[in-house]
Chains A and B, each alone.
Chain A
């Protein structure tokens, strides 16, 4: 008992410290400068977050794919906020081994990871390559029509 209680602080100190957690608080991002077809990358908790203003074509491509054909089936609607279908917000970290995929690259009008060749579509879903999962959607909400809060 005592030994375990002594070990716990030694293990726990390795977790993110108070300042790191504080720096990981939610951030607000203004969407007005991002034109259709463009994207920006912001950093939250040290991770790059892609915010993409998708074109009609990209949205259609993402929605016309049969879900059964996807390695990690998830509908495009479930990955964006209703009424803001053009905005895709994903964590730009490849689910394979953590590289940063490039936006507007690859065969699916979405993202391409240069490390091991994973291809993500315009909804950030994995389509081909070694990555097992879709690009995760961070917790976020629309504060107004042109502003989101991430976290």
Chain B
């Protein structure tokens, strides 16, 4: 994009086109002949990875919109419709949801790389500021996207974040009403967030073009932080950078695919599988992990307005970085003090992220204040002072000298380690936040569907269905599951005829008929399981004020704290079975006499594993209550295990397909990465 192009098209048509629109020359000079410093390490591949993620988010997003309905009554259902009924809908939805997290992981690495190697320093200030703008746009886009599924965390996250603007003096309340388009977060809010969530990625794409343009004017920074002087210092973009970026992208895709196919709910909040309810606040409102450090800063400041200013200030301060740090040496590699403070800063950010997921009480508040101070001190005190007092080590004369001198191949390994450690730490923080108040942790059961090759036990699904039908269904609805699903592949294994027979046993209301009257008819395969109560209030009235939760997503909506080191192992062992463990434990957790010191209010029952111990549901099942035809033991233990299996299937009917495809994709990506690695070695053989 800079300077006249040396591109000489051979083909006649391209020659003709080039004289009228020099697009070939533009592409050639930007992505083929463009000189890149030859000492770039793998941290520099994240720019390419981010472009790939943006493209992927836009493609999956545009497709999801074809199936999504932005309305408070339909949004949650339409998202579940995507996951359950649309061909490969589960894949697209997981890609888009996990993709947002991957996007932020990549952008944080990209930003920290810029910070470490001084990529914001002259002449790259505008490049850096454009990056900060992209980051702000990403945060807005991510926030509004999280509202769209209209789950509990969507709704309450939107309420908390939009209320931040009420801190503005005088006009705050009017601004919030204006943002909402109503007197609370509601349908107008959802609609405008949807509109903006669709728009902003294209704005981001536009700013990315400016970002790349600015990059190609100034040229890339590099680990040595010295500008290229001769041709020996650079290599052409293609094939050198192209093949290296491609290898980096495929490695990143492996990491991404791990989430898509094996851990789709690891980074999300279980609470978001409960539809939004303006009357019930979830016990802990936690934003997505990528906002946690800023959320911690917000809560550390005792004044409401001050907290909001500090939170936005924490991002805005980045834009002033080129002038706060005036040191002549770019790369921290040659700045012994700046290097140490950089790593302290990284730790401060991670700890702030951890605190953001914690309830703001006791020692966490104090720790949050200290870390908030450290965060700002790094930019406003440490960097300005260091640039005056630090004595940097000598920088190499040229990039070529740097390449000859350096040994480093450690970067790839450290990226892998940082990727895993960073994401796991942050997601660990999120999981910590889903605390159930002090109930003992449900024991982990053995599930046939756990792990990368897990499959549902058909017998358990069929028995679990029987328990559901004879026991649970008298109070609990299962609105998202249809009779046809019983015959779906990967399900309980009914034949279509058997499923139709099950449906025919139910009476379903239909109509109006020609006379304008509603009538009842036998159920069909296309019908959903009828709910036991006509509406929420009827269900509450019949159950002592408590609402028996819908069971379709119960196995994904229930969760509990796993504790800090454990959650890291969970990432590698693909532990996702909190929901079934919890269901199993609650069904077996009834005790007639609560332990001393625990008082259970009237109309509630003591349950060892239920959060708060007082559950409104009486002990639902006892031994020999449901007859099993296959000789399985008719015990509460077995019933609990079977119904938990069934509910896991009800919540995730395509789990088997997901894991099967996941294995194929993993094998492909690993082989592809290996091929790219050796190709890259070959291409770079003469450049090192």
Chain A residues with CB under 8 Å of chain B are 11, 14-17, 20, 24, 41, 43, 45-48, 96-100, 113-117, 130, 132
Contact = CB atoms under 8 A, between A and B. Distances in A.
A98 B159 contact: yes
Contacts of A117: 359-361
A98 B163 contact: yes
A48 B282 CA distance: 15
Given A99-B160, A99-B285, A100-B280, A46 B186 contact: yes
Contacts of B280: 100
Given A43-B279, A100-B279, A117-B361, A20 B183 contact: yes
Nearest to B192: A14
Contacts of A15: 177-178, 181
Interface residues of chain A: helix, strand, loop or mixed (majority)? loop
A48 B279 contact: yes
A44 B185 CA distance: 13
Closest 10 interchain pairs by CB? Answer: A46-B184, A45-B183, A98-B163, A99-B281, A97-B160, A100-B281, A98-B159, A20-B182, A97-B163, A115-B285
B159 A41 contact: no
Interface residues of chain B: helix, strand, loop or mixed (majority)? loop
Contact of B360 (A14, A16, A130): A130
A11 B178 CA distance: 9
Nearest to A133: B304
Q: How extensive is the interface on chain B, given as a class?
A: 20 to 34
Contact of A130 (B192, B282, B299): B299
A16 B304 contact: no
Given A100-B279, A114-B281, A17 B188 contact: yes
A15 B160 CA distance: 19
A16 B160 contact: no
A128 B371 CA distance: 24
Contacts of B299: 116, 130
Nearest to A132: B304
A25 to B, nearest CB: 12
Interface in B257-309: 278-285, 299, 302-304
Nearest to A45: B183
B319 interface: no
A14 B182 CA distance: 9
A18 to B, nearest CB: 12
A14 B361 contact: no
Given A43-B279, A130-B299, A20 B181 contact: yes
Nearest to A11: B178
Contacts of B359: 116-117
B156 interface: yes
Nearest to B286: A115
A58 B182 CA distance: 34
A115 B178 CA distance: 24
